[in-house]
Amino acid sequence: MTDAMVEGDIGWFPLSLRLAGRRVLVVGGGEIAVNKIRLLLAHDARVELLATHLNGQVAEWVERGVVSLVGDMAADGALRAVMPGCRLVYAATDDRAVNRAVATVADDLNIPVCAVDDPDPSSFITPAQIHRGPVRIAISTGGAAPVLARRLRATIEAHVPDDTATLARYLSDRRARVVEACPDVPRRRRIWEDFIDGVGGAAARGGAFEQADDVLAALLRDVRVRGEVWLVGAGPGDPDLLTLRALNLMQNADSVLYDQLVAPGLLDRVRRDAELVYVGKRASRHTLAQSEINAELVRRAQRGERVLRLKGGDPFIFGRGGEEIETLLGHGVPFQIVPGITAASGCAAYAGIPLTHRDCAQSCIFVTGHARADGALDLPWDAMARSGQTIVIYMGVGALPSLCARLIDHGLSADWPVAVVERGTLPGQRVVEGTLATLPGRVVEAGVGTPALIIVGEVVRHRVVSPPGFNPSSV
């Protein structure tokens, strides 16, 4: 069981079945059967029918000889006589008891059976499908939520253009030739990726096959595997807050170097065969020194990998992204930088706290509360302790008592509002509210852990406790 699964998720194994020329028995001749027969005919199955009553569409198919009527309804003996040799059976009447009886016989004979809209007696179910020529995308909720499956299909459908069919056929036709010309698997995969993402793919989609062939030939001759590094912000935790660009690169990386703040749900979005390398850091426990991470990025890029350096939040906000690109520049390694939603924006939004507000906060300042090795907090206190301003403090929970005391020393009142957002945007997010005087005690009482972000300022009073769409808990 993978991290993404919970008990009860397991049950239906997706696979693609060849039905062309194979006998499939459908029991039932009404509306429910029509949908299944249509699907089966689209896959060139030989549909045989057991039914007492045929609706207009089914009668027409029978009349045209597209579907063979092999008997009327479903006495046990009739079922046992026609089922042997069938690849599949659909029990598609509007009578659940009849469907279940059909399923029992099919099960007895070891033939996969689907009792329509009734997963319990079924040994297979039919997923919602998207067809683009040879490309098939199937979406299944294991029979738990068919309407959700259909909604997902609509969403995915919008992202898979019709010309995908043309592209897929083009690729299929050239596949053997490319395998022969380039037996090296990683290099070949790269050629295909460059082709599909580039002008060649666009030409093939549009049917300009000669032009596409020229591009493919050029790639086969010239491609030199060149590594690069993509420095990508993964946002504060909720995978839905990834940018489209981040997702796209996650799907194309050969290896991913990720740190502590990258939530497991985010890694599920990475290409399955990419190598995942944890280089995480905690405030007090460095797994890999920054210089080692920099060197590892260079090493991997130099051997031709496309390396995704995935960082929590935004790489350029307390993320040491600047140091990493300086090293890459120094070694002539090409790189891209993709911004992410920083913890301040993500946590504030999910906690319902506006970072600026017309009435009370005309500016917002981000600071780090990470103390120096000697324990000192080196911060611009006078610039911070101002009314009309929100202060967001990253990495500050360990030093919270001292932070609050120093802000009071520099002129903010003891009842100035403060909130801490723990695990912002993630399941179990908590928000603890208080004042500069009370919050340190409350945070200890609540046992606030990491990651956590501090928001100081009158905006905390404007907090909307349950913003629409989510419901963070608050203590």
Cβ contacts of residue 454 below 8 Å, gap of 6+? 369, 391, 392, 393, 396, 397, 400, 403, 418, 419, 420
Q: Does 395 bind ligand SAM (CB under 6 A)?
A: yes
**What DSSP designation does 399 have?**
G
Span near ligand SAM by CB under 6 A; candidates 113-121, 206-214, 290-298, 446-454: 446-454
Span near ligand SAM by CB under 6 A; candidates 37-45, 185-193, 242-250, 309-317: 309-317
Residue 250's closest CA among 193, 309, 305?
A: 309
| Nearer of residues 92 and 393 to ligand SAM, judged by Cβ | 393
Say which residue the tokens 């990720």 belong to.
258
Distance CA 7, CA 40 (A): 33
Task: For the sheet with 389-394, list strands across it.
Answer: 363-368, 389-394, 452-456, 417-422, 430-435, 473-474
Span near ligand SAM by CB under 6 A; candidates 152-160, 287-295, 308-316, 465-473: 308-316
Please select the residue that binds ligand SAM; options are 121, 127, 200, 312, rule is CB under 6 A: 312
Please select the residue that binds ligand SAM; options are 48, 254, 305, 314, rule is CB under 6 A: 314
| Nearer of residues 101 and 347 to ligand SAM, judged by Cβ | 347
User: Which of 254, 259, 311, 314 is flagged as catalytic?
Assistant: 259
Q: Does 424 bind ligand SAM (CB under 6 A)?
A: yes
Please select the residue that binds ligand SAM; options are 231, 425, 432, 455, rule is CB under 6 A: 425
Active site residue 120: no
Distance CA 345, CA 364 (A): 11
Span near ligand SAM by CB under 6 A; candidates 81-89, 145-153, 296-304, 422-430: 422-430
Distance CA 435, CA 442 (A): 10
- Least distance in Å: CB of 284 to ligand SAM? 12
Length of the chain: 475
Residue 344's closest CA among 393, 299, 306, 284?
A: 393
The three-point CA angle 267-273-274 to 5° equals 60
Identify the sign of the CA torsion 319, 322, 328, 330: negative
Please select the residue that binds ligand SAM; options are 33, 452, 455, 459, rule is CB under 6 A: 452
Active site residue 36: no
Residue 204's closest CA among 176, 169, 248?
A: 169
Please select the residue that binds ligand SAM; options are 90, 170, 318, 416, rule is CB under 6 A: 318
Please select the residue that binds ligand SAM; options are 317, 355, 361, 385, rule is CB under 6 A: 317
In 92-213, DSSP assigns E strands to 113-115, 128-132, 135-139
Containing H/E element for 99? helix 96-108
Binding mask 343-382 for ligand SAM (x = CB under 6 A): x---x-----------------------------------
What residues numbered 228-267 form the site for ligand SAM, per CB under 6 A? 236-237, 261
- Least distance in Å: CB of 400 to ligand SAM? 11
Number of H helices, E strands in the chain: 17, 18
| Nearer of residues 155 and 284 to ligand SAM, judged by Cβ | 284
- Total of chain residues touching ligand SAM, rule CB under 6 A: 24
Closest residue to bound ligand SAM by CB: 313
What residues numbered 189-228 form the site for ligand SAM, per CB under 6 A? none
Residues of this chain that interact with ligand SAM (CB under 6 A) are 236-237, 261, 311-314, 317-319, 342-343, 347, 394-395, 421, 423-426, 450-453
The residues that are catalytic are: 259, 281
